[in-house]
Structure formats: structure tokens, C-alpha cells
Chains A and B, each alone.
Chain A
Amino acid sequence: MSDPTVGSMATTPPAEQPTVAGGTAPPDSGLPANAKRDQPRGLLGDAWMDLRRKPLFWISASIILLFLVMAAFPSLFTSVDPTQGDLARSRVEPSGDAWFGYDVQGRDVYARVIYGARASILVAVLATLGTVLIGGAIGILSGFWGGWVDALLSRVADVFFGLPFVLGAIVILTTFNKPGSGNSYVKIVSLVLFSLIILGWPVSMRIMRSSVLATKQADYIMAARALGAGSGRIIMKHLLPNTLAPLLVYSTILVGSFIGAEATLSFLGVGLQSPVVSWGVMISETRDWVRVSPFLLFFPATFLVIAVLAFVMLGEAVREALDPKLR
């Protein structure tokens, strides 16, 4: 999933009006209003009750937690220095000493995979935060004010949405991150973040915009307006809580996509670069050795896939819990 913009179309359900659980059942569902639930709970409370029962949720949440710990305290998992290389043991196969073997430069693959979690997850989480905050805010403005504001912002979003994701990122990164320009770690990471966010925000914006459009017409918003609530209050108090669900689901899955996207860019040699350790960098380094030493690809790719999978699964679980139709 190297293109986070693709995912939005299939994984995000059309924005729906969240229905208050315990409210009226459809007229002929055969169950009276109070049959389904004894106590009315909020949408989120209800979703949480639903999530708690799902093994998918617990599995993915535990994996994510494990990766987060790995990213924060890699030394808990290994005492080997991931950058310490010894050419004498270049591409030595996995053994009892080094579970995952040694890479081309004789560095411990296990240690590198552990330390690689930090950059991969840091980039993905920060990029998701940026994307969702920027896209969400613009989406609210666009949906709430409509008219020319909406027209303008939507066209701007179209501009960035029309750019093929990988291609756009490559162009941005090669322009600002010329190879050999000796950019610092922080600068490279910020550049990767910048390119992911600038190409990713339109999707969040569209999701938010359409849920705002759907919710804006709701009776309780009309009521709030009729009672004289200001725009700011309506957005913060009424619109935001009721439109967050689709974006929340999308952002969970987006973390997964961005892990994949970071890896793809590193793989192409335009994203993070050695000496930074990330799964994408590792995979990129094995490019020429895949045929002779496939284990070099196997371990970072497996970690990468498990991490992406965990986020995608969590998103699925959350979506199912938040979407009353799927129950």
C-alpha cells in the first residue's frame, strides 16, 4: 500500500449521520425501540463496547503497542549496536548468535529491524497527525462555509490529489533533498514528512468535508443555530464530535499506509537514507542481493508488513464498531 490516496476510496464508508444508539429502530425491524439496548450510550461508548469484544481489535492493538515500545525503547529488545558493521560477516545467514543474520555490511539484522521501528513509525505517526489535522481543518471550513470558500479549497485539494502520489513525492524530495547535500537527520525526516503531508491532506479534507456536509443539515445543528449559537460553537460543540468518526477510521489506516509509503520512498532512494535506520532503508539496501540472500529482504519486510497490517486491522475494527450498519 504505497499509495495512501488509493485507500480512501474503499475503506472509508460514505459519511453517515451517527445515530444515537438506543434511539428508534427502523419501523419494521421487528424489535421495539428499547429491545436492542437497555441503556442508551453515546456512539463512542457503544463503539467501545463493541470493540472490546473483538479479538481483531485486541490483537492489532497489542501489536501496535509492542511496536510503539520498540520505537521508544529499542534497547529493551537488543543490546547490539545496529550501526556496528563487520565486513567479515557480510550476509551471514541467520543462526543462534544472530537470529536474523547479518546484512551486507555485516550489521546485525535483528538489531537493525528493532531500531528501524523508530524512524518508520515516527514518520508515519507524525505524517498522519499532520495530514489529519490540516486536511480535517480545511475540510471543516470548506464544508461549513460552502460557497466560494468551498470551491476554492476543493480545487486546491484537487491540484494535490491529481498528482500521482509516488511521483509527486519523488519530485518534491529530489528537489529539496539532493543526494549528497548532507542534510541532517531532522531535515531529511521533515522533508519526508512534508511530502507525505502535502500529497496526503486532500483525502482527509474530502472525508471531513463530506461528513460535515451530511451533518450540517441535521436537525440538532439547525436547532443550535436557531438558538443563536455562533459558528465557532457549532463547529466545536456539534459538528466536530459528530463528524470525527470517518476521519478517525481513515487516520488509523493511514498510519499503516504511511509506513508503507515511507518504505517505498526509501526503497526508491529518495526518502530516508543511511545512516538512518528504517525498514524502508533496510529493504532498499538489500535490493541488489535479494536473489542470493533473500533473508535480508525477509526480516525487514515482515516487520513492515506486520506493522502495516496491525494498523489496517485496527482501522477495520474501529470502522466496524463505528458503523452501525455493519452490525
Chain B
Amino acid sequence: MSDILVSERSEPGADGSGRPSGRLLEVDDLRVEFRTRDGVAKVINGVTYHVDAGETLAVLGESGSGKSVTAQTIMGILDTPPGFVTGGQVRFHGKDMLTMSAEERRRIRGEGIAMIFQDALSALNPVFTVGFQIAEQFRIRRGMSRSDAKKRSIEMLDLVKIPNAKGRFNAYPHQFSGGMRQRAMIAMSLALDPEVLIADEPTTALDVTVQAQIMDLLAELQRERQMGLILITHDLGVVADVADRIAVMYAGRIVEEADVHELYEKPGHPYTLGLLNSIPRIDEKGQQLRTIKGLPPSLLNIPSGCPFHPRCPMVQPVCREKVPPLLQLGGTRASACHFAEEVVNRD
């Protein structure tokens, strides 16, 4: 029974909690809202994705699409208030993290799931040395002695290719360059050998040349350690090289999910198509850049029907009324568009 292909993927986890599905980390119909002074913003509206060991899932979307909030909910670092989880599950090894005890959940952080943040300068504590912040985990979580923790921390700094790791152990975050800081951040997140690593825009704050180095390092470490990697980004260029699968988010929903090559070749959602078209191409120099018209919707007031319809070039009357479910299209692809087939088979 359980092997029947469920085609409607936005259905809440039909199998309930606690039943191991073999997946490493699953987000299932997650719903989050921000209760602000100006009203309730529905930031996440039924997001479902998963990542397995040794696999890289890229979550793609504009700022405000809910990709970071999803990650924060997984980590349990959502600011509450204003953020509230109103539904869904986050299962790690099949166990729902949202309902487990705070202590149980804490133990998963760092060891089970770790996270890298966008801006390492603010994500590292400014008044402690980088070494202290890495060693702290070995001391508190593993009960190591100060000297052992220091030795392990220096190994970690070596692992992320920080030159003169021993000498840098006692340096403060502000004494590092941007790229080195992000490396230190990676060393810190990998210290407890997590099974899943969430990287929230890890290269956005960096120079282009450094970006590539950091992405290479992440990809390398992910391969070596067979981690599940969730790479959150708005940069299509970053994604193509490292991701296995891509989930595209819009207005708190997944609008398309597909194998990376499939998605780049034949996007199955007009939004993805727009994103791909907006990448400047060297062979089209001199032409006007194609952009997606309009702005992302206000989450306080999400448009009826398909949230993308006001900006969609292919909009039809049905789009204004009915929310398109995320449907399997064959292969690895799923799209939340009433006219997904037409989008894929255009031209």
C-alpha cells in the first residue's frame, strides 16, 4: 500500500509521524505565519521537500519567498513571536521534530542538522575568538578537555583550508577576511559531523571570486562526508554546478521541484522559466534583459488562486480562482501550475 505513488504531493504527510520512511530529513506541508502589527503574513504555505544522505537540494527563490524561514523552522531558530508554525511536520529520521521535547530537539542541532548563515560576521559572536566558538561545541557537546577541544578545532580549521590554523585559533571574527570567516563558519557547523547541513545563502555576502571557492569547498565536504545538503540561494548560477535537485519557492510555496538538468532544460513553471530567462547571457549581449514583471506579492495579502498569476505571462481565468497543486509530471519533476505540460512542451 505504502508504495503506491501519491501524485498529489501537497497532501499532508499521509503516513503520520514516527513511521520511518527512510528519508533523512523531510519537511511536510509546513505552514508558518508571522503575526505582525499590520496583520498576519502567511510566510510558508504548505512546503514539502526532503533531502537524503549524500544529496544536495537547492532551494531557490526571491527574498521573501520563505526559503530562509523554512530553514529556520527546521533548525528551531524561528523568532517566536512573530513567527508561528501553524501546521505540518519536520521529520528527521522519520521523527517529527516539531513535537519532540526541547531537549531532544537541541541534541539534533549541530549533531544531526547544522546550519551555515549568510553573514558570517554577524553570525559569529564578536567578543569570542573563532577558536573558542568551535572548541565550545567539543567541550559542551562532547565533554572534551580544553586541550583536546583545541586540537580538534584546529583540525577543523585545517579541514576548511584556513592557512595557519593554529595561529588563527585565537583570532576574533573581525580579524578574518570575509571568505575566511565563512570558512570558519563552515568549520564550526561541521564540528559535530552533522548528517544534514543547511547552508542559507552561504556566498551571498562574498566577492565573486571567493564565492566559487566557498562553493567548491562545500561541495567537496558534502561529497566526502556524504551529508545531505540543503543549499538556500537566489543565485541560479551557484545552483547549477552543485545541486542534484532544485526546489523553486514562490510566496511560501514550492512551485516547482525537479532534477537540476531537467529543470534547466525544460522548466515546468512559468516562474522558473522567468527566472532562467532573466539570467544575462553572453550570446545575447546588447539585448534588453528579460525580467519578470511586477513584484513578489505581499504575504499579508496573497493573491487568490495561483499566487503567481498577477505576474504570469501565460495567465488564464482558472489561475485566478484555483490554487494549482504541486503535481508529479513524470520523471523527477513536479510543478504547481495549471498549465505545467504546456510550459514544458512550449515552442
Select from chain B the residue with minimum beta-carbon distance to A35.
Answer: B298
| B38 partner residues in chain A, CB cutoff 8 A | 36-37
**Chain B's interface: helix, strand, loop or mixed, by majority?**
loop
Which one, B63-71, B190-198, B257-265, B327-335, is touching chain A? B63-71
Q: Are A33 and B68 in contact (CB under 8 A)?
A: no
Q: Are A35 and B299 in contact (CB under 8 A)?
A: yes
| B62 partner residues in chain A, CB cutoff 8 A | 32
- Known interface pairs A33-B64, A35-B64; A27-B83 also in contact (CB < 8 Å): no
A55 CB → nearest B CB, Å: 15
Q: Are B64 and A30 in contact (CB under 8 A)?
A: yes
Select from chain B the residue with minimum beta-carbon distance to A29.
Answer: B64
| A35 partner residues in chain B, CB cutoff 8 A | 41, 64, 298-300
Q: Are B297 and A30 in contact (CB under 8 A)?
A: no
B241 CB → nearest A CB, Å: 23
| A37 partner residues in chain B, CB cutoff 8 A | 38
Q: Are B298 and A32 in contact (CB under 8 A)?
A: yes
| B69 partner residues in chain A, CB cutoff 8 A | 28, 30
Select from chain B the residue with minimum beta-carbon distance to A27.
Answer: B63
**A4–B277 alpha-carbon span in the complex (Å):** 61
**A30–B62 alpha-carbon span in the complex (Å):** 10
> Does B118 belong to the interface (CB within 8 Å)?
yes
- Known interface pairs A28-B63, A28-B118; A34-B295 also in contact (CB < 8 Å): yes
- The A/B interface has a contact count, at CB < 8 Å, of 51
- As a 0/1 sequence over residues 56 to 76 of chain B, the CB contacts with chain A under 8 angstroms (1 = contact) are 000000111010110000000
| A38 partner residues in chain B, CB cutoff 8 A | 298
> Does A156 belong to the interface (CB within 8 Å)?
no
B94 CB → nearest A CB, Å: 28
Q: Are B37 and A32 in contact (CB under 8 A)?
A: no
- Known interface pairs A25-B64, A35-B300; A30-B295 also in contact (CB < 8 Å): no
- Specify which of A28, A31, A34, A327 is in contact with B37 (CB 8 Å cutoff): A327
**A199–B8 alpha-carbon span in the complex (Å):** 74
| B92 partner residues in chain A, CB cutoff 8 A | none
- Specify which of A25, A30, A33, A327 is in contact with B43 (CB 8 Å cutoff): A30
Q: Are B68 and A30 in contact (CB under 8 A)?
A: yes
- Within residues 42 to 94 of chain B, which ones have a CB less than 8 A from any CB in chain A? 43, 62-64, 66, 68-69, 83
**A27–B233 alpha-carbon span in the complex (Å):** 12
Q: How many B residues touch the partner, as a band?
A: 20 to 34
- Specify which of A27, A30, A327 is in contact with B41 (CB 8 Å cutoff): A30
Select from chain A the residue with minimum beta-carbon distance to B82.
Answer: A30
- Within residues 275 to 310 of chain B, which ones have a CB less than 8 A from any CB in chain A? 295-300
| B83 partner residues in chain A, CB cutoff 8 A | 30
- As a 0/1 sequence over residues 23 to 67 of chain A, the CB contacts with chain B under 8 angstroms (1 = contact) are 001011111111111100000000000000000000000000000
> Does B28 belong to the interface (CB within 8 Å)?
no
- Within residues 306 to 327 of chain A, which ones have a CB less than 8 A from any CB in chain B? 327
| A32 partner residues in chain B, CB cutoff 8 A | 62-64, 295-299
**A36–B299 alpha-carbon span in the complex (Å):** 9
> Closest 6 CB pairs between A and B?
A32-B64, A28-B68, A32-B296, A35-B298, A30-B69, A30-B43
Chain A to chain B contacts (Cβ below 8 Å), 25 pairs: A25-B63, A25-B64, A27-B63, A27-B118, A27-B204, A28-B68, A28-B118, A28-B200, A28-B201, A29-B64, A30-B34, A30-B68, A30-B83, A30-B299, A31-B43, A31-B64, A32-B62, A32-B63, A32-B295, A32-B297, A32-B298, A32-B299, A34-B298, A36-B36, A327-B37
A residues neighboring B (CB under 8 Å): 25, 27-38, 327
B residues neighboring A (CB under 8 Å): 34, 36-38, 41, 43, 62-64, 66, 68-69, 83, 118, 200-201, 204, 295-300
